[in-house]
Amino acid sequence: MAKNAIILGLLSAVGPFAIDMYLPALPTIAADLNASTASTQMTLMAFFMALGLCQIVYGPISDMAGRKPPLYVGLMLFILGSIGCALSPGAGGLIAFRFLQGIGASAVMEIPRAVIRDLHTGIEATQLMVLVMLVLSVSPMLAPLAGGALIVSFGWRAVFVTVKAISFGVPLVCVGLTEDKAYVNVRSSGFG
């Protein structure tokens, strides 16, 4: 159970890391891109809009197709969004790529909870969820500190390069994740 808690916690922490790590860079981003404060804040809103909207989509898709395929698609979208953010020449592009990043992040925040529901019930599910939340709760504390250190040393684009690098390691961690069979039951019942 501890192995699953760490894997699922790391997956769940990718999204919050992408939110909190770049917050100290907002003034720097505005200055570097010659953008208004409102347009740089729009990058955060775009991320949250995509994060909220796409969780509605990933849930049913992961019920029908299994947990790993949509998880990998979400990770790829997140990585593409991170690359786009790091290379973005203007505020409009950064907003668009943050939206794409949010689409991907919603998968890695939604699907681990569904995996817990698939693999465990009752007390076991509660204990695993508590462990995942424990791992997840560390990211809002560490992300701004890491982001601030990166921004001072390498500039704001380094935050997105780092988030992308972390995301490349996540699929390797997912290999250890137990594949669920819940979606097979949904398909055999005629709903998928």
Provide the 8-state DSSP code for 180.
P
pLDDT tens for the chain, residues 1 to 192 = 677 777 788 888 888 888 888 899 999 999 999 999 999 999 999 999 999 999 899 989 998 998 889 988 999 999 999 999 999 999 999 999 999 999 999 998 888 888 888 888 889 888 888 888 887 888 888 888 999 999 999 999 999 998 888 777 666 666 655 555 544 444 444 444
Q: What are the tokens at 47?
A: 């991320």
Q: Which of 138, 91, 137 lies closest to 146, judged by CA?
A: 138
Query: Which residue has tokens 């204990």?
Result: 127
d(C-alpha 169, C-alpha 119), whole Å: 23
Dihedral angle, C-alpha 107, 15, 100, 182, nearest 10 °: 0
